[in-house]
Every structure is written in structure tokens, then in C-alpha cells.
Chain A
Amino acid sequence: MRPSSRDDFIIAIRSAFLKKDNKQKFSLSALIILTLSILILGRYEFKIISYAKLSLKEIAYRSTFIFSTPENLIKNGFFATKNHFFVYKENKILKEKIKELEIKKYNSQYLLSENQRLKETLNELNFTSNEILAKVIVDKQSPFLKSIIVNKGSKHGVVLGMGVLDKEYLVGKVVEVNFTTSRILLLSDLNSKIPVDITPNNIQSILSGTGKDNGKIQYIKENLLIENENEVFTSGAGGIFKPGVPIGTIVKNNLDSQINVEFFSDFSQLRFVKLRAYLSEEN
């Protein structure tokens, strides 16, 4: 009797998944079962799997740093060449900006002292911060996850949820801490949600990542009160970040009424970042 096409299919599947090839040390099905076990145990955070993950990540991050050296050289060369072409134009813009900033500096000094005085009068919370400077060792922003790896971990005092700043601009928060490395979820990631304050009207909202280079404002009723060039700061709601850390500016899209945020910091250019834990203390 001739085998049917269904039999052929089953034989081919069995041979592909169950039979161990001569040149292979493991059968495919055994490895698939092992992977599924890792996934399931990892989902329920089994201790052995968690420790294995930590070790694996330490090795992977360090190896990636070494393997990425040639690519980083090309990347830096590319940016250096690109910047070189715009030096003259950039210089002109920067000179104008310096003038504007000098005026703003004097204003903000006055506002700061006034703010401090008013806070003391109201007996509000003050924030102190612990800061750790870290170097970005892996900057592989995959199309699915916008994150970076830095060379500081639990050994250096990094804890989950720390705010991450580039200069004084917020860029993300710590979502994974290993012994000597940590992963930072950037604000542009789809899974990132930060409570923000939009000035000058002080509108409270949530800034969500888009998976691209910008963010978007969500859950808001007062659409009309928000205008282009409005500035976005952390609101401090939830107690993770200090209020008033600058994030970016509003860019309104007239076509679909979406409110986007252009970040102050360029996430593709991060080299060193500051990890900051904010501790509130009452006056």
C-alpha cells in the first residue's frame, strides 16, 4: 500500500524535529523543550533561572561591547564627518542661542531662589539625589526595543527605577540591574510611560514612547491648551522622579491631532549618562 501525503508529512516532520542528525550533538525537539522550559520558568521568576540570566547578561553585554568596537568606530566616523559639514551653520545658531540663554540664566536664578523660599513657606517636599556616572556600553536600539546598557550595576549602587539623565535631560529609567551592568529603557520605547507636566499651562499628562525617535502625550482632555513649542517636564507624580526634570518640547501634528514630544536629548548619541535616585525629604 502506497503511503498517503499525510503520512509523508508526518514522516518529514518527525524526521525534522525528533530525529537527531548525525552531525548534531542535540536533537531539535530536546532543545525546543529546553527553551520552552527556560521561557516558562523565567516567566515565573525561578531563582536558578534568574541567576543564570544574570550571568548570561553579564557575559553578553561585555562581549557585545567588544564585538561592537569596529561598528562603533564606523558610526563615530560617520557622525564626525556629518557634523563637520554643518560646523559653520551650527556656530551661527549657537552664538544666537548663547545670547538667549544668558538672559534666561539671570531670570532662572531669581526664580530658583524665589521657588526655594516659597517651598519653605509651604513646607513642601525637597528632593536630594544620589548620582552615578555611567558609560553606555551597548547602544543597540532594535526596531522592537529602545534601550541601552550601561557599565554600572548593583555593585555600584544602581537600583531599579533610577532616573537616567543626559546632561540634565531625562532620557529613561533603569529597568534591569545586573551585578556590573544595567539596562535602561529609553523614553522613546513603546513600553515607557512617564507622568509629565506641560508648561506654561501646567497640564498633567502621561508621556508614552512611540517606538520611534519621539514620544506622544496620552490621556489628555485639554488638547487645545497645548501648543507647539510648549515644554515638557517630569511631574513627580508616582514619586519616582523629581518634578521639573526637562524632557522635551511639544510638536503638534495637525493632521491626526496627535501631540508628539521631541526629546531634548538625542538618544542615538548617548555616551555617558547620569543615573539618579531621588529621595524626598520633608522640610
Chain B
Amino acid sequence: MTELARLSIFKQILEKGPIILLFISTLNEFDFNYLGLKYFSFNFPFILIYYWSLKRPGSLGYGLIFLSGLFNDAVVGLPIGVSSLSYLLICGFSSYLRNITLRPNKINDWFFFGFTILVVNSLIYGVANIFFNIQIVYEDILVNILFTFLFYYIFSYLFELYKNFVYGASSV
């Protein structure tokens, strides 16, 4: 009985894995500045949110995504609400893709992700620049978008393995 209860708690923690990872990544803001890689950055929360709201919408609550966006803004120093808006828009895009897709295809998802982050980043940095007068280095954003797009494929593979391990291969 105790063994069963322990297993159930462990499974519950694993099921909450994506949201825990989201909060860790927004509060920790993985960065590689200390490695001296000048032109390397990617937006891990974008990949995480897009993948999990596309493949398993229940695993990330919209309310928690909204909250993690607020934390991200506080940590990064952007106007409060900007990241939340971008995260929620990504959820909307992935939800739209889920609604129109009959046969899921990895390449399709990947290119739609590229389109999504281009639109969302343009909108968000447009808002930050026009309404909040924040100056931005556009080449840094482009590099960030490019690496986020490229890394999606690798992370989607890892998340797929995690999803199959926690929920089983046939889960939707």
C-alpha cells in the first residue's frame, strides 16, 4: 500500500514536470553568458509552452503560464505583462494548430513554431519599443529566434520521450 502511494506521488510529480520546468526556466533564465558565447541565446519557455500546449494541453494550465510570464518579466526587467502576453499567444497559436490538424506531423509543427515565434516576437518587441520606449538590438533578437527555432526540434524529441515515459505512447 505504501509502495503504491509512493508510486502515485512520484507519478504526480512527473506529470507536473512541464510546469515545474517552466517555472524553473523563467525564474532561472538559463543563460550561457559566462561561456563567452556572444551570439548564442534561445528562449526555452517558448519551446516548452508551444510543445506541451500542442501535444498535451492539460499539462500546462493557462493560469500558471500567465503567472510564469509575470515572473519572467520581473526577472528579465521587461514591462510587466509582456512575457505573459507572448506565452498566452503561443498557447493560442498551438491550440489553433491542434484544432486544424488531423494527422500531426513533426515538420509541420516545427515550421508553424517558427512562424509563431516570429509573429509573437515581432508583436512583443514592437509593443516594448513603441509603448515602453525600450531600445532593442534587433540582431540579438533574430539570433535568439533562429536558435529557438532550431532547438525546438531537439527539445520536441526529448519532450516526446518524457511524454511517452509519463503518459504512455498513445497519450494525446
Contact = CB atoms under 8 A, between A and B. Distances in A.
Nearest to B101: A12
Interface stretch (B137-145, B152-160, B161-169): B137-145
B127 A39 contact: yes
A39 B70 CA distance: 11
A25 B140 contact: no
Interface secondary structure of B, over-half rule = helix
A16 B28 contact: no
Contact of A60 (B71, B93, B136): B71
A225 interface: no
Contacts of B143: 143
B88 A64 contact: no
Interface residues of B, number: 53
Contact of A39 (B75, B82, B93): B82
A144 interface: yes
A39 B63 contact: no
Contacts of B74: 53, 56-57, 60-61
Given A42-B81, A61-B74, A191-B135, A143 B99 contact: no
B38 interface: yes
A78 B35 CA distance: 8
Contact of A16 (B66, B95, B137): B95
A120 interface: no
B132 interface: yes
B85 interface: yes
Nearest to A65: B27
B99 A25 contact: no
A32 interface: yes
Contacts of A183: 77
A63 interface: yes
A71 interface: yes
B61 A28 contact: no
Contacts of A79: 34
B134 interface: yes
Interface string A162-189: 0000000000000010000001000000
B108 to A, nearest CB: 15
Contacts of B30: 71
Given A67-B27, A143-B140, A190-B137, A43 B33 contact: no
A28 B77 CA distance: 24
A268 B35 CA distance: 11
B80 interface: yes
A140 B80 contact: no
Given A16-B99, A60-B27, A143 B141 contact: yes
A145 interface: yes
Contact of A211 (B85, B131, B137): B137
Given A23-B57, A67-B27, A142 B92 contact: no
**Which residue, of A11, A16, A34, A43, has the highest number of chain B Cβ atoms within 10 A?**
A16
A13 B58 CA distance: 19
A141 B33 contact: yes
Contacts of B14: none
A42 B74 CA distance: 13
Contacts of B63: 24-26, 31
A138 interface: yes
A36 interface: yes
Interface string A14-43: 011100011111111001101110110011
Given A35-B69, A268-B34, 4 more contacts: A11-B99, A32-B92, A34-B66, A191-B134
